[in-house]
Amino acid sequence: MSTAWTADHVGKIAPASGCLVPVIEKIDRAGLDPELIYWDMWPIQDPQGRAAKIGGREIWMALTAPERGNPHLRHFEAKIRLLAREADGWRDLGPAMPDQPVPYEREWAGSAVFDGSQVTLYFTAAGTSQRPGGYQQQLFEASAAIGGDGLPAGWTAPRPSITRFLPDYMLAAAHEGEAGKIKAFRDPAYFRDPADGAEYLIFTASLAEAGSDFNGAVGIARKHGDGWHLLPPLVKADGVNNELERAHVVFHAGRYFVFWATQSSTFAPGLRHAPNGLYGMVADSLAGPWRPLNGTGLVLRNPASEPTQTYSWFVTADLEVASFVDFWGLDGQPVPSDPTDANRYFGGVPAPLLRLEASGDRCVLTGQAPA
């Protein structure tokens, strides 16, 4: 059953609603490659959706790109790298997968699961190898054993996860596009339903049968013996929002939560009072129906003085929240239109981890997660 996230829900978002992400006072690049920028993070998880312990530590993944002096260029050079979460911060462990011949151009966000012996990475294959700079998106996957150093090694060749399509979904097959307006078939997030052990991919989608150009959705596919089979979307935002990014489901305290990130600029006209933020719904089963958290769907937002300081929130089954530092230190000023000027305010590092607490249909911030 698909549930609608409606204009009525979003219209109830008040200026003071939503929990505020603490103001970013400084950024720390210790342990990171000084020549790279980092964004869109996720942990290697166990099948229950918690950050897995591999060799006694947490291994995370993040998108990275060379520092070019223009933060907008990063999307066209993105590659996934491994990070170790340590008591004193993050440490770059190098590329997740080796360079190899592939049909896509770059790697966008996804998820990873560790089953006790091997890691499977689900990610967005962006662009095409034949023609650079496109916005085409496919869901891909690859697997690797854990080597003696505790890191994935011996990756299988990346392969498409979805090869059969439903008329519910618009394919993201266009080469041309514009950030915030492109259509989505990306961000695969693994989920295993504790009710029956069935495995799913949750992803950021666009509706094919829509009454508006603002046709975002949360897509879902179920694993069968012969691969992943698409199902009708979990959440539809027709007429509300173009992009429900980094969509994922977690099971916590007996209930199901679907979370996504989105930006003010991707809401339909008349709804752009809604902030950049983490949004979500809750249900008693994966099939729904889904109820907007906090009555509107809004869970976290940046402060009014720093509305773009963090983005791309990802929540674990322990309700720990990762994100990255986007444009910060603006103190109420807009992001400069000139890319060189904007780059002075771009963080490009992991943001402090946060923790949520859920009760009923309420979900609130309790503070920063411990190191």
pTM above 0.85, yes or no: yes
**Tens-level pLDDT at each residue, the chain (371 residues):** 799 999 999 999 998 889 999 999 999 999 999 999 999 999 999 999 999 999 999 999 999 999 999 999 999 999 999 999 998 899 999 999 999 999 999 999 999 999 999 999 999 999 999 999 999 999 999 999 999 899 999 999 999 999 999 999 999 999 998 888 899 999 999 999 999 999 999 999 999 989 999 999 999 999 998 899 999 999 999 999 999 999 999 999 999 999 999 999 999 999 999 999 999 999 999 999 999 999 999 999 999 999 999 999 999 999 999 999 999 999 999 999 999 999 999 999 999 999 999 999 999 999 988 76
pLDDT at 209: 87
C-alpha–C-alpha distance, residues 290 and 314, integer Å: 19
**Domain chopping of the chain, boundaries:** 3-23+31-352
C-alpha–C-alpha distance, residues 304 and 301, integer Å: 9
Q: Which of 104, 96, 20, 30 is nearest to 64 (CA)?
A: 96
pLDDT at 369: 86
Q: Which of 108, 92, 81, 96 is nearest to 29 (CA)?
A: 92
Q: Which of 137, 89, 135, 84 is nearest to 110 (CA)?
A: 137
310 phi and psi angles, rounded to 5 deg: -135, 155
In terms of CATH, what superfamily is 3-23+31-352? Glycosyl hydrolase domain; family 43 (2.115.10.20)
